[in-house]
Structure 1
Amino acid sequence: MLCAVMLGACTQSAELQAPLPKPVKVEVVGQAGAAGQTDSFVGTLRARQRSDLGFEAAGRVVAIHVEVGDQVKAGQVLARLDESPARWRLNNAQAESKAAAAALTERSTQLKQQEALAGDKIISATALESARAAHLQARSRLESADAALATARRDLALARITAPFDGEVVARLTQPFSDVASGQAVLQVQAGRTLEVVAMLPDAVASALVPGVKAQGKSGAQTFSLILERLSARSDNGSLAQAIFRVQVPPASSGEAASSLRSGSVVSVELHRTKVAASMTLPMTAVMPGTKPGEASVFVLDEDSKIARRDIQTGSTLLPESRVAISHGLKPGEQVVVAGAAFLHEGQSVAVHQPETVLPGGAR
């Protein structure tokens, strides 16, 4: 009886220590990246024609003639600096120009006299050359004074900000009687309601896009069509490319869309990805390389929730998102282990891992 009890205890212990199925992450071959999958990115609405306006010279603002929301015409005066310093420089330049002109007239008269004397052999050739040099110096001083006069007139004209095009004031960044630096933005204007969306896209996504690709934008409950117009050839921050989409508004609802979409708003840019149906790919984490190029193996999940090692043929290039093409060894619809394959063995019982997340776009 004692032996029977001991054997029973051993049997129960062995049953309690039986290994549980190992949770694994799988992917159904042929379904990843299928047509209809959508990638979403953040974009910003902005006016197609816009400008930050400021004064070229530093000074004190004495008047701003417009407010946010005002409609302006090209050439309209929007703001003015204190013109006193510019007028003083203009007056000084005018005086310098008159003095230089008078000096040139005097030198011209002297040069004619010296040339006449030289023709009568009364003065030496050296004295004539000295008169000519003085005349050239007077002419140069006049040209320099005229250039300073033109600069002073330009400075006076630039003490005013004028509208570069017909549009609307969207921002007023300073107040009258404030001191501003050279180039500091004072007003922001934009032309009309024609908008575009600028978004930063990962290189893996941008490399597959060409101008003319259609996308969809979302702002709250409103959706609108987008068309890719320009794509930067440079990567910012190492892996992001700037893409600019043109906003397409249907003619029937153009008035409503113009009132609800505003420049500066953050919107969602949705791109629909399509891939060739005959192409099967897997992530690199699912593939166990073989001894020869193109040879590899994967673990395939069977109907009994056990895994079997399967030899496959892979492509020689790495696809976007660190995936490889599968040319032989798998059929569409089979489930392949895509994570932790190095820690599994043939015939092992596994359980498909079901991730729990509140983030959009779960595991594939």
Structure 2
Amino acid sequence: MGTSVGAVSSIPGRTAPWPALILLALLSACQQAEAPPPDIRPVKTVTVERRADEQSVSLTGQIRAQDEVSLAFRTDGRMLERSANIGDQVKPGQVVARLDPQNQQNALRSAQASLSAAPGQLTQARNTFERQQGLLQKGYTTRAQFDDAQQARQTAEAQVDSAQAQLRNAQDQLGYTELQADAPGTVTAKGAEPGEVVKAGQMIVQVARQGGRDAVFDVPAHLVRMGPRQATITIALADDPSVKAIGRVREIAPQADPVTRTYQVKVGLTDPPEAMRLGSTVVGRASATSGEVIEVPATALTEANGRPAVWVVDPATQTVALRNIDVVRYDPASVTVSQGIEAGDVVVTAGVQALRPGQKVRLLGVTS
């Protein structure tokens, strides 16, 4: 039987056909080909360093008097007059407002009348007591009559004391119808107008006493914690930065504002210029340090397991590893890190989106 053309011969000593030789040559070439080179990705890096976290803080506030009081009447009534307006200067003892004194004048006249009648009653009671005392010694009166005379005298004496006290109280009440300034200062607010019926304790005018001035700011809680109380703060007018003053923290509110959740901080000014008038808007600048941190460019930040992370290069193997970090502060161009990386670590700053753990990289530039 004949052999088909093109079939591979299995007879010893016979040469294999051309298709088989070509297949063997291709298989040999594949075995001898080298493995493809590993994927080495070029990246930009930075060598991080640990430094003190000195943060410059700038806040807007206003100038207020260190000592500001609200003047109010000590009794109810209808206000007839208010002679002090906002911006007026007041002096100690100056009358700034008056109430209708009619009721207090009537009470004073009644107290005066009671006091006028009380001494006559006391004189009569004393004379009766002295007569009963003499008659008792001679045996011409009873002990009960003497006791009644003695009690009447004591009652008359008490009525005199009561009438005197009522007179003093009526005089005080009449004096309370005039509201006087107790110290020099400037009126900064008013709380009632003439003709209104006001209550005792209701603010009529608010006076900023002469003396020291404060720059008052609403400060976030984290700045209150990290800022030292003895820090020197530079205060400048918002509309004229050349007008400056130096101050120190004088008072920090013990409780945060329920709406803004900020703390009111009062900075006492040292020799403030006249241009820093009450109510002026000012800008306060200070530096605060909160320990050592590491700062990396914002482009280095990525995410792993739902937390911030960066790619760190192993100098020995030139491979990258993903490492989680704790971020203290996010800035437009940088990120402040407290934990997760150490000084001297090489962190990838460009090309982080295309990396994978263990990937080899080629450093385009290392900065510090």
Give percent identity, aligned residues only: 25
Matching of residue 236 in structure 1 with residue 251 in structure 2: no
CA distance in 1, matches of 2:81, 2:163: 31
Q: Secondary structure at the match of 1:272?
A: strand
Seen in structure 2, the aligned counterparts of structure 1 residues 345 and 69 have a Cα distance that, compared at 3 Å, is same
| Cross-structure match for 1:308 | 321
Seen in structure 2, the aligned counterparts of structure 1 residues 98 and 63 have a Cα distance that, compared at 3 Å, is same
Matching of residue 263 in structure 1 with residue 281 in structure 2: no
1:209: how far off?
A: 4.4
CA distance in 1, matches of 2:320, 2:159: 94
User: Can you give the 5+ residue segments of structure 1 that lack an aligned partner in the other structure?
Assistant: 1-27, 289-296, 338-343, 350-364
1:246: how far off?
A: 1.0
Deviations along 1:216-261, whole A, 9 cap, x unmatched?
Answer: 33442334334234334733358654422112346xxx3xxx23x3
Q: Which residue identity does 1:144 align to in structure 2? A: S
* TM-score, reference length from structure 1: 0.65
| Cross-structure match for 1:356 | none
| Cross-structure match for 1:69 | 87
Determine if contact 2:235/2:283 at 8 Å carries over to the other structure.
Answer: yes
| Cross-structure match for 1:187 | 205
Deviations along 1:1-54, whole A, 9 cap, x unmatched?
Answer: xxxxxxxxxxxxxxxxxxxxxxxxxxx6636x622x223344342112322222
1:300: how far off?
A: 4.1
CA distance in 1, matches of 2:73, 2:61: 31
User: Can you give the 5+ residue segments of structure 2 that lack an aligned partner in the other structure?
Assistant: 1-47, 297-301, 331-335, 350-354, 361-368
Matching of residue 139 in structure 1 with residue 152 in structure 2: no
Q: Which residue identity does 1:263 align to in structure 2? A: L
Partner residue of 1:331 out of 330, 343, 350: 343
Aligned ranges 1:1-364 → 2 under 5 Å: 30=50, 34-35=53-54, 37-192=55-210, 194-223=212-241, 224-232=244-252, 234-237=254-257, 240-249=262-271, 254=273, 258-259=274-275, 261-277=276-292, 299-302=309-312, 308-309=321-322, 326=339, 330-331=342-343, 335=347, 346-347=357-358
Q: Secondary structure at the match of 1:62?
A: strand
CA distance in 2, matches of 1:348, 1:142: 105
1:197: how far off?
A: 2.0
CA distance in 2, matches of 1:123, 1:273: 93
Determine if contact 1:30/1:333 at 8 Å carries over to the other structure.
Answer: no
Q: Secondary structure at the match of 1:236?
A: coil
Root-mean-square deviation (CA, aligned residues, Å) is 4.4
Seen in structure 2, the aligned counterparts of structure 1 residues 91 and 202 have a Cα distance that, compared at 3 Å, is same
Q: How many residues align?
A: 294
CA distance in 2, matches of 1:186, 1:93: 29
CA distance in 2, matches of 1:335, 1:116: 115
1:62: how far off?
A: 2.0
Determine if contact 1:298/1:336 at 8 Å carries over to the other structure.
Answer: no
Seen in structure 2, the aligned counterparts of structure 1 residues 94 and 332 have a Cα distance that, compared at 3 Å, is farther
Q: Secondary structure at the match of 2:195?
A: coil
Q: Secondary structure at the match of 2:150?
A: helix
Q: Which residue identity does 2:179 align to in structure 1? A: I
Determine if contact 1:64/1:79 at 8 Å carries over to the other structure.
Answer: yes
